[in-house]
Chain A
Amino acid sequence: MTKIDRSKLLGFKLDSAVNEGAKMGAKDGVKMGNKVGLKAGAKVGLKMGDKAVAPTRRA
């Protein structure tokens, strides 16, 4: 298997854009890749509204 280019993958390319920031400067590419891979779901993942059981609130 050759190296995956995240910038060519729907969803995962978004983390590539975030990674351009200094905060994500790569010290250990593999570890960061794994960590960011897991983050991908959270970054643009679930959008959930909720209502308190009591009292009811609009979400």
Chain B
Amino acid sequence: MPDTGRGPAPAPSDDTLYSFAPNPARAEYLDARMHDELAASLSHLAEVTADTPGISAPLTEAAARIAGGLRVGPEAFGRYFHIAALLLEDLPDQVPPNLAPLTAATSMPRPPLTTLPRGGAGEVDTLLDLRMGEDAANFAPSTEAKAADLAERLAQGFALMQQALPDLHAELTAIIHRIVAAEGRKGAKTQFDGASHYQFWGLLLLNPAFHKTRLAIVEVLAHEASHSLLFGLTIDEPLVRNPDEDLFPSPLRIDPRPMDGIYHATYVSARMAWAMETLAASGVLSEAEKAEALEAARTDRANFAAGISVIDAHGDLSPTGAAIMQRARAWVEA
């Protein structure tokens, strides 16, 4: 990594790092760590392409800016993954067209949280299509009007979260900086309601057709932010070591999933239960909202029970995966 005088982010204790309860300091550390990793990865790609200065120099410069403290948006992470994949596939001739977008994505600090429609999200649209291939069709274009409507609901949900769940609000806003409103694939039997992707740190995809109340907004944000939290904790080793080819019943989806997906769904269910129960106890909900939150929490706890039984029976957890899930289980069973 270029010497900028700025060292890597100091690691918090395991109890802070793997805390089940939201922890803003942990989120800020993970955001810093992801940026450190991005800078180091770009620097390594610059080293291996040193015989081609036209490729190496922009990579070195981007790495230096990030190592120097620049905080970038999901397009910088997505573009890195695309460049790295091309180089790993020994396709350096395809890298140059990606360098100007990388430079653009790493030249300015990421803007504050923004909600944009799929199809009007610029670089993120391009990169979702590049990185997800056919899966990108699951996230159909939306409109400015629907994105604006979603943004209004998000504002209500964030306000409720800030009032009643301040640590979750702080954790989430430390990590999430872009929301893309995307619609489901026309004619599909199922429609996505929310999504996040390891290769797009800071990005959430939400379907504006759902999440119509402030409570539903808090629930989906708690859900998706927990995926992002797990991404940030999955830097040095995977959460599970089960082969991807082995599929298991999921508590949250109708299709069987790899153990990594089961793990995510199970953990996310526990965090949703935490959010709904804490919200219900906060005194800021109406009686109807409180009843709805507690009903959602019952479902979330049932989903956790279904998922943890699959993990207990078949999961091959890494030390990181075990440390995280042990704390989630302790909260559920307390």
Residues of A in contact with B (beta carbons under 8 Å apart): 1-6, 8-14, 17-18, 21, 23, 33-34, 37, 39-53, 57-59
Contact = CB atoms under 8 A, between A and B. Distances in A.
Contact of A44 (B84, B223, B243, B260): B260
Given A17-B237, A34-B88, A50-B254, 4 more contacts: A2-B47, A10-B34, A43-B260, A51-B193
Contacts of B299: 58
Given A4-B87, A53-B188, A58-B299, A46 B132 contact: yes
Contact of A48 (B131, B138, B237): B138
Interface stretch (B106-114, B228-236, B282-290): B228-236
A52 B296 CA distance: 17
B52 interface: yes
A4 B238 contact: no
A50 B264 contact: no
A45 B198 CA distance: 5
Given A17-B238, A59-B252, A42 B244 contact: yes
Nearest to B56: A1
Q: Which applies to chain A's interface (DSSP): helix, strand, loop or mixed?
A: mixed
B241 A9 contact: no
Contacts of B131: 41
Given A1-B48, A6-B88, A18 B238 contact: yes
B194 interface: yes
Nearest to B81: A11
Contacts of B235: 10, 13
Interface pairs A-B: 5 shortest CB-CB: A48-B195, A10-B37, A50-B190, A8-B44, A44-B198
Contacts of B85: 37, 40
Given A12-B84, A12-B88, A41 B253 contact: no
B44 A52 contact: no
Contacts of B84: 4, 9, 11-12
B40 interface: yes
B227 interface: yes
Contacts of B71: none
A59 B8 CA distance: 37
A46 B89 contact: no
A58 B299 CA distance: 9
B193 A49 contact: yes
B19 interface: no
A47 B264 contact: yes
Interface in B243-260: 243-244, 252-254, 258, 260
13 contacts: A4-B84, A9-B88, A10-B34, A10-B37, A11-B81, A11-B198, A14-B237, A17-B241, A37-B88, A49-B223, A50-B193, A59-B252, A59-B253
